[in-house]
Structure 1
Amino acid sequence: MTAVGVESNFLTPHLVAGLNTSEATVSWVITGYSLTVLVASYLSGALADLFGPKRVMLAGAAVFIVFQFAFIFAISTGNLHLVGLTYFIRGFGFPLFAFAFLVWINHLARPSKLGTAIGWFYVMFTGGLPTLGSLVAFGVIPAFGGGFVGETAALYVSIALAAVGTVLAWFGCRDQTGMRRLAEPAMSNSEILMSGLQLLVSNSKVRDGFLVRMINTAPQFGMFIILPAVISDELGWGQSRWLMMTVIVYAGNILFNAVFGAIGDKHGWVSTVRYFGILTSSIALLAWWYVPHWVEPGSTSGYVLAVIAGTAYGIFLAGFVPMGAIVAANAPGQEGGAMAMYTTAAGGATFLGSLVVAVVLNVTGWFNLGSYAQNTAVVWAFVALYAVAFILVGRLRTRQDDPEYRKELKRKDAALVDAA
């Protein structure tokens, strides 16, 4: 995920410069990429059930590495259509790798610790995208001369990181379930591939959970599009400080992913998501947008306050961690299909975030609004989506949200430990 995160906070201005086009046009290129991320996120769950998570992870890594080379070459040609095509195909890469691994975790974790296990997955996920990825970019870009050339070098470094991560996953994850089919033997290939979609249609709780998870990190990916130019150029803090801001913001997220997973296991998954994940994230998102504009542009004190506001968003974003457990628990006996839809929604957040930016920027552009007004409209669109998620998650209560049932799970865990 560090390899994917390298580009996360400079790609939009990089493509604007490399293709000599507008930010609105680039937002459509990123939207196309995020559409394939959505599709691959669904396939990661279905294919992991069919062929085994480890094989799917290897396929995803291969797609990323090959088409990252192709994407870099396409940028050098200045051909918008070739850039769009190669980036579109590359979008299949990271979801197959990351979310097949999440399916593997969901298959192995004990029910009483599922929220915690998923929390640790997101510690590593966010640790790479965007946190360590931004830190790598922070070091590599100036080391290779800065600007467009330094950014291109960072894209090449991401390929090396992906290769290292692939080797570590292949030789480090040795549980044999990763190499075999997870689905029931009686299920046909077509049933496995369609199970998630059928569940989405037939189970309203899975559908609501799908929407909540999709909304969850949509603002994160949307802010990756609009904030780099705002923080670096318009407010005068420069690219290096923007990259460091991203590292700090999502370091906060890393520290609290496991914490909120454990809080959910102890105090209830739905309440954790509703009040920590949704309500506080929406408030913190507004703070991350407005605080940098309220302080003195380019000042150190203003930068510190902006980082604090952003870090609050990163921390409370971790409140969504129990959503994976919630979606699976609302489809008893069909956990494989439920996780396929959860991973689809996780990838779909990339699509939704970039789509909101593309639509809002283009619509507000028709009214000749200034950059600040356009970007503010984007932020409020995300807050409106959080309001929808707040309503939807209230419908998703499971047995785990009953304190007595949580005590029963703890007693069963204690009995298993004693028996061992």
Structure 2
Amino acid sequence: MTSEHTPLPAAPAPHFLDRIGIPSTLAWGFVGLLLFMVGDGVEAGYLAPFLESKGISGEKVALLFTVYGVFACVASWLSGALSDLWGPRRVMWIGLGIWFVFEVLFLLFGVQTNSYPVMLAAYALRGLGYPLFAFGFLVWIAAATPPQQLGSAAGWFWFAFSGGLPTLGSLFASFAIPAIGQLATFWSSLGLVTVGGLIAVLFTRDRRGAGRLAPPDTHPLQVVFGSVSITWREPKTTIAGIIRAINTSSEYAFLVVMPTFFVQKVGLTLQQWLQLLSIMFLSNILFNLVSGILADRLGSRTIVALGGGVGSAISIPLFYYVPLWHPHSFAWAALVGVIYGATIASFVPLSSLMPQVVPREKGAALSILGLGAGASVWLGPLVVTLFRSSVGLEGVIWIFVGMYLAAALMTMFVTVSPEARAYSESPEGRSDAAVAFGH
């Protein structure tokens, strides 16, 4: 019989990774995701000029990227529903397989034979691969991470995602191309994706990724339809999807209009513009992590609304006007680029907020965020197309200011209901998270 004075055994100390916001049972998934996205981002900086050098017209290259974006958008939306239905690990396997098969077809029978129809078809279908893999893992994170740690875990997800695409992927290409040539660099990206994908799916230990997340009595069509019907059953998910579309819309718009602005108006060289872009993305990567950590302490809505919405509404005009006030100054341009990258990263906590808003349908809720992420690819350039000729670049800047202020206002409506909070804190809602940490 145990004496009443016998001390109780001490609770095991949290794993170091858990203390910095990475669920320890998912650690290899983050490593694999980073390598996968490095491979996916290798071509980002040079695929277009490479194809044009092979005689493919600029219009055809643009069509190639547009169709790729559409397929990636569809896969981003489906990733959550399919993860609910089949389990995140299986969806990641499917994404890895699609990427591998269609990249081989793209290179062997498209690029090396200079067949545009094959390139168009294979590249478009390859666009299904990375969202299924990456956002399948995001669903896994949402299923396995306690609510109080979700902000940090989401920050680490986007840190790995953006660290690979485009930052480290483009950096890898800058060293690989002079050493082994452009075509061999394409093939090396296949190796990085394969290694990273296998690390993630084979070595990630958490059991929630192995099985279906949706209730066993739910029909498959109901699960897929749920990723659509949730937009009117839970209007907060629709609002969050719109906010996510606004989030990176200016980035894609700036890739269209800012190279000319900084070279011709500000007086930077093309090399300086590319360096500025790298600095901006590096800032974005670092603050992806910082914003997630701050969200766990200050609240996700606070960081998204103030840091993301209001912050971007301030940083975007700074990114335009400050370089005009200080022409030929790379330092000033870099400073406001860092600020802009940080404010765009402040939307990261949306990925941790949504599973708390709809805790019973995490996959479907994250599907809407994936759809918003895909929509931002065309929303930004669409704003430029519709308004640049009538209001000029300066007018476009202020249109984006209005959009980000609207996003800040909309964030105020993305609240966690008492019912959702009670479910997350109930034994049923917390049981899976407890297993993840061995409690």
TM-score range, shorter chain: 0.7 to 0.9
Residue of structure 2 aligned with 1:9, choices 45, 62, 77: 45
Contact 2:173/2:185 (<8 A) preserved: yes
Aligned-pair distance for 1:296?
Answer: 4.6
Q: Is 1:329 matched with 2:329? A: no
What is the correspondence of 1:239-278 to structure 2 with a 5 Å cutoff?
241-278=272-309
Contact 2:244/2:373 (<8 A) preserved: yes
Between the aligned partners of 2:51 and 2:264, the Cα distance in structure 1 is 16
* CA deviations over 1:48-107 (Å, ceiling 9, x no partner): 111111111121122222223333453556655544333221210110000000000000
Between the aligned partners of 1:98 and 1:8, the Cα distance in structure 2 is 17
Between the aligned partners of 1:226 and 1:359, the Cα distance in structure 2 is 12
Between the aligned partners of 2:227 and 2:116, the Cα distance in structure 1 is 35
Aligned-pair distance for 1:240?
Answer: 5.7
Between the aligned partners of 2:263 and 2:174, the Cα distance in structure 1 is 13
Change in 2 beyond 3 A, CA 1:387/1:19: farther
Question: Match of 1:386?
Answer: 404
TM-score by length of 1: 0.80
Once the two structures are overlaid, the 10-residue window that deviates more, 265-274 or 225-234, is: 225-234
Once the two structures are overlaid, the 10-residue window that deviates more, 373-382 or 57-66, is: 373-382
Residue of structure 1 aligned with 2:77, choices 42, 52, 71: 42
What is the correspondence of 1:405-416 to structure 2 with a 5 Å cutoff?
none
Between the aligned partners of 2:121 and 2:213, the Cα distance in structure 1 is 33
The CA RMSD over aligned residues, in Å, is 3.5
Question: Match of 2:176?
Answer: 140
Question: Match of 2:340?
Answer: 313
For 1:29, what is the secondary structure of its paired residue?
helix
Once the two structures are overlaid, the 10-residue window that deviates more, 240-249 or 88-97, is: 240-249
What is the correspondence of 1:284-295 to structure 2 with a 5 Å cutoff?
284-291=315-322, 295=326
TM-score by length of 2: 0.77
Aligned-pair distance for 1:319?
Answer: 0.9
Give the unaligned 5+ runs of structure 2. Answer: 1-36, 419-429
Change in 2 beyond 3 A, CA 1:100/1:236: same
Contact 2:388/2:395 (<8 A) preserved: no
Residue of structure 1 aligned with 2:106, choices 61, 71, 74: 71
Between the aligned partners of 1:262 and 1:360, the Cα distance in structure 2 is 32
Once the two structures are overlaid, the 10-residue window that deviates more, 192-201 or 66-75, is: 66-75
Q: What amino acid does structure 2 have at the position aligned with 1:51?
A: W
Aligned-pair distance for 1:109?
Answer: 0.6
Residue of structure 2 aligned with 1:346, choices 373, 378, 383: 373
What is the correspondence of 1:19-34 to structure 2 with a 5 Å cutoff?
19-22=55-58, 26-34=61-69
Give the percent of matched residue pairs that are identical in Structure 1 and Structure 2. 33
Once the two structures are overlaid, the 10-residue window that deviates more, 175-184 or 78-87, is: 78-87
Aligned-pair distance for 1:229?
Answer: 6.8
Question: Match of 2:242?
Answer: 211
Contact 1:131/1:248 (<8 A) preserved: no
Change in 2 beyond 3 A, CA 1:227/1:8: farther
Contact 1:135/1:244 (<8 A) preserved: no
Change in 2 beyond 3 A, CA 1:59/1:13: same
Question: Match of 1:398?
Answer: 416
Between the aligned partners of 1:17 and 1:293, the Cα distance in structure 2 is 34
Q: What amino acid does structure 2 have at the position aligned with 1:314?
A: G
Between the aligned partners of 1:216 and 1:98, the Cα distance in structure 2 is 19
Change in 2 beyond 3 A, CA 1:243/1:59: farther
For 2:346, what is the secondary structure of its paired residue?
helix
Change in 2 beyond 3 A, CA 1:58/1:392: same
Aligned-pair distance for 1:295?
Answer: 4.9
Q: Is 1:192 matched with 2:210? A: no
Q: What amino acid does structure 2 have at the position aligned with 1:335?
A: K
* CA deviations over 1:194-251 (Å, ceiling 9, x no partner): 1111111222211101111122122233434555676689978666655544433222
Q: What amino acid does structure 1 have at the position aligned with 2:350?
A: M
Aligned-pair distance for 1:258?
Answer: 2.5
What is the correspondence of 1:147-186 to structure 2 with a 5 Å cutoff?
150-186=181-217
Question: Match of 1:100?
Answer: 136
Between the aligned partners of 1:133 and 1:375, the Cα distance in structure 2 is 30
Once the two structures are overlaid, the 10-residue window that deviates more, 192-201 or 255-264, is: 255-264
Aligned-pair distance for 1:265?
Answer: 1.9
Between the aligned partners of 2:384 and 2:52, the Cα distance in structure 1 is 15
Aligned-pair distance for 1:190?
Answer: 0.9
Change in 2 beyond 3 A, CA 1:16/1:312: farther
Between the aligned partners of 1:219 and 1:304, the Cα distance in structure 2 is 22
What is the correspondence of 1:348-363 to structure 2 with a 5 Å cutoff?
348-350=375-377, 355-356=378-379, 358-359=381-382
Change in 2 beyond 3 A, CA 1:14/1:218: farther
Aligned-pair distance for 1:131?
Answer: 1.6
Between the aligned partners of 1:310 and 1:160, the Cα distance in structure 2 is 33
Once the two structures are overlaid, the 10-residue window that deviates more, 239-248 or 99-108, is: 239-248
Between the aligned partners of 1:292 and 1:81, the Cα distance in structure 2 is 43
Change in 2 beyond 3 A, CA 1:242/1:365: closer
* CA deviations over 1:285-341 (Å, ceiling 9, x no partner): 3444555566555xxxx3333222222222222211111222223224333321222
Between the aligned partners of 1:312 and 1:159, the Cα distance in structure 2 is 34
